Amino acid sequence: MGAGSDDSRALARYTWPEVQLRSGREEKWLVIDRKVYNISEFCKRHPGGVRVISHYAGQDATDAFTAFHIDKQLVGRYLKPLLIGRPLAKYSQACS
Ligand code: HEM
């Protein structure tokens, strides 16, 4: 009861290697705007198709996500239940 807004929810922290591991057949996570989303099930129902979204599993999908979804309110409703946490470090640090 009274869970409040998203911001008040205690979000888990994941390292980039943990995110990058979730790019396989069973588990798929991706990052948008510094938040980690579990798309393992959602990807099969993604209106844009399973392939295009799965391509970004284990990665930062912010740029593609921003480019392909015009109605931010609509996609926001889909995003919300998929949120599982935040990455610990910046992507650039993980990849350098
Ligand atoms: C958790 C992440 C995502 C969610 C919740 C999501 C959700 C949606 C929704 C609700 C739609 C239909 C409405 C709309 O067109 O705006 C859509 C369409 C689409 N999405 Fe995503 N999406 C996600 C990630 C991605 C990513 C990473 C890509 C990569 C390119 C992508 C590409 C597309 C494309 C190409 C369409 C079809 C647009 C069209 O038919 O005009 N989506 N997505």
Give how far the C-alpha of residue 86 lies from the chain's centroid of Cα atoms, to the nearest Å: 9
Q: Whose CA is nearest to atom 10 of ligand 1?
A: 75
pLDDT tens string 7-52: 546 789 999 999 999 999 999 999 999 999 999 999 999 999 999 9
Domain-located, residue 91: yes
Domain-located, residue 1: no
Residue 16 Cβ < 6 Å to ligand 1: no
Element (DSSP H or E) covering residue 62: helix 62-68
CA dist 93 and 91 (Å) reads: 5
Please report the pLDDT score of residue 7 as a whole number: 54
CA of 76 to the centre of ligand 1 (A): 11
> Which two tokens mark 24?
């396989």
CATH of the domain at 59: 3.10.120.10
Domain extent, residue 37, equals 11-95
Residue 82 Cβ < 6 Å to ligand 1: yes
Pairing of strands 12-14, 29-32: unpaired
Residue indicated by tokens 């991706």: 30
pLDDT tens string 44-82: 999 999 999 999 999 999 999 999 999 999 999 999 999
